[in-house]
Amino acid sequence: MDQNEALAILKPHLKQERYDHTVRVMETAIQLAGVYGVDEKKAEIAAIFHDYAKYRPTEEMKKWITSTYLPKDLLHYHHELWHGPVGALLVEREVGITDVEVLDSIHYHTTGRTHMTPLDKVIFLADYIEPGRKFPGIDDVREAAQVSLDYGCWMATKNTIAFLMSKNQPIYPDTFYAYNALTKRKN
Ligand code: GDP
Ligand code: FE
Ligand code: FE
Ligand code: FE
């Protein structure tokens, strides 16, 4: 599937601002993939579809989690975390993408996971640092992303955990697993 074809499939599923974010994630992911020796074509497709399920109704996402292989513990966490796992499922079913590495990087793009693949890291980090993002501490993460993929992802997980804790929010276990695994690798 080429880039224009993939973007045309995606477009009706998103609002304009989310579509624009996706194009920036795609450009950032292709750049990071080039720097870190990751398959640029897989990075492009995964980035294009990473937020595919972002606007599915919460009740529909809940049904997909309940009725498929998706982890049930998601239901105990904020519904904002559901669009990654549900997106991977729907991108396979509705778009026909079968590449497991691509599907996994979509699944885990919000939380990360232990033993993230290089493609997982590219999508996770591109989503965090795309030029439209304005998180506190974002410039440190952008610099870290140019030092190493592990260092950039580590800092993104660290910032996310610190941000969620400052808001007294629960943190999904995969986010901690990602942080711990990256802490050992970042140097
Ligand atoms: P987006 O879809 O492009 O907006 O970005 P993400 O897929 O990364 O999801 C965004 C939201 O999920 C952000 O508001 C994060 O703070 C939040 N988030 C990420 N990890 C966790 C977590 O472990 N627990 C909770 N509750 N929220 C999280
Ligand atoms: Fe997302
Ligand atoms: Fe993210
Ligand atoms: Fe995103």
Average pLDDT per block of 10 residues along the chain, 187 residues long:
97 98 98 98 98 98 98 98 98 98 98 97 98 93 96 97 96 98 86
Query: From the CB of 170, is ligand 1 less than 6 Å away?
Result: yes
Specify the pLDDT at position 135.
85
* Structure-token pair, residue 51: 């937020």
- Structural domain range at position 17: 3-185
Query: From the CB of 172, is ligand 1 less than 6 Å away?
Result: yes
Specify the pLDDT at position 187.
72
ipTM of this model? 0.89
Tell me how many degrees the CA angle 23-183-187 measures, rounded to the nearest 5.
90
Specify the pLDDT at position 184.
85
Specify the pLDDT at position 185.
80
Q: What CATH number has the domain bearing residue 64?
A: 1.10.3210.10
Ligand with the closest atom to the CA of 141: 3
Number of domains present in the structure of the chain: 1
Query: From the CB of 51, is ligand 1 less than 6 Å away?
Result: yes
DSSP collapsed to 3 states, the chain: CCHHHHHHHHHHHCCHHHHHHHHHHHHHHHHHHHHHCCCHHHHHHHHHHCCCCCCCCHHHHHHHHHHCCCCHHHHHCCHHHCHHHHHHHHHHHHHCCCCHHHHHHHHCCCCCCCCCCHHHHHHHHHHHHCCCCCCCCHHHHHHHHHHCHHHHHHHHHHHHHHHHHHCCCCCCHHHHHHHHHHHHHCC
Q: Report the nearest atom of ligand 1 relative to the CA of 169.
A: 26
Residue recorded with tokens 């950039």: 152
**What sign results for the dihedral spanned by CA atoms 175, 9, 134, 41?**
positive
Specify the pLDDT at position 31.
98
Q: State the Cα–Cα distance between residues 97 and 91, nearest whole angstrom.
A: 6
Query: From the CB of 105, is ligand 1 less than 6 Å away?
Result: no
